[in-house]
């Protein structure tokens, strides 16, 4: 920096100060470098290195109920979920919609009533849905593969074909395998 430059800055500072104009001019106005973002300590990106969980769900006959109302997977485990719709009554279309921890199955089931255009998956509730199969007609088999959430807990699953959510539900338990 030249002496002239230093003088100019000092002069400018004096003028600013004299005018009551706030901060003196400096050449070190760069903000400090922002620290690199870090993953929260409470969200470990643990990867599950075991085989996928193979889950098959069937309805109970022509009832609005699942035969399998509970299954357990590990945090981060790949889940291959198959819905084998063995119903024969043409009214018994089914799907499996796994909900987020704490999501209200009734709220999602009711919202699904007006979501026929998207296979009875309410798009405005995407944040409450972990995964879902397509809708299956009687005699059809549908499937979905997803990664189980990291957070342990009981995740409800429901069928969102209109009205079925009232009785057609189960629980996906995410839990560490006992040591
Ligand atoms: Cu159903």
pLDDT, tens only, 88-109:
999 999 999 999 999 999 999 9
| CATH class for the domain made up of 53-174 | mainly beta
Q: 162: which DSSP letter? A: T
The token pair that represents 6 in the structure block: 């230093």
pLDDT, tens only, 25-37:
445 555 556 555 5
Cα(120) to ligand 1 centroid in Å equals: 11
Question: Beta-carbon neighbour count of residue 25 at 10 Å?
Answer: 16
**What's the whole-number mean pLDDT along residues 156-177?**
96
169 DSSP β-pair partners: 158
Residue showing tokens 């255009």: 117
pLDDT of residue 58: 98
Cα(64) to ligand 1 centroid in Å equals: 6
Cα(155) to ligand 1 centroid in Å equals: 18
Cα(70) to ligand 1 centroid in Å equals: 16
User: What ranges in the chain are assigned the alpha helix state H?
Assistant: 3-18, 105-112
pLDDT of residue 15: 43
pLDDT of residue 48: 86
pLDDT of residue 45: 55
What are the residue boundaries of the structural domains of the chain, listed by start? 53-174
Question: Of 167 and 13, which is predicted with more confidence?
Answer: 167
Cα(94) to ligand 1 centroid in Å equals: 4
Cα(163) to ligand 1 centroid in Å equals: 8
pLDDT, tens only, 119-140:
999 999 999 999 999 999 999 9
pLDDT of residue 76: 96
Q: Measuring CA to CA, which residue among 122, 119, 112, 133 is closest to residue 55?
A: 133
Percent of the chain, pLDDT > 90?
70
pTM: 0.74
């Amino acid at each position: 920096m030249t002496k002239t430059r230093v003088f100019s800055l000092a002069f400018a500072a004096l003028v600013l100060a004299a005018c009551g104009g706030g901060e003196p001019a400096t050449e070190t106005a760069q903000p400090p470098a922002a620290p690199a973002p870090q993953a929260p300590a409470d969200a470990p990106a643990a990867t599950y290195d075991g085989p996928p969980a193979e889950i098959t769900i069937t309805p109970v006959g022509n009832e609005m109920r699942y035969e399998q109302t509970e299954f357990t997977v590990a945090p981060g485990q790949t889940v291959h979920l198959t819905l084998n719709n063995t119903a024969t009554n043409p009214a018994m279309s089914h799907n499996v919609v796994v909900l987020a921890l704490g999501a209200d199955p009734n709220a999602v089931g009711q919202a699904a009533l007006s979501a026929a255009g998207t296979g009875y998956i309410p798009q405005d509730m995407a944040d409450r849905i972990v995964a879902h199969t397509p809708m299956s007609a009687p005699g059809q088999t549908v499937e979905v593969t997803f990664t189980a959430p990291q957070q342990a807990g009981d995740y409800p699953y429901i069928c969102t074909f209109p009205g079925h959510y009232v009785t057609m539900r189960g629980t996906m338990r995410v839990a560490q395998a006992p040591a």
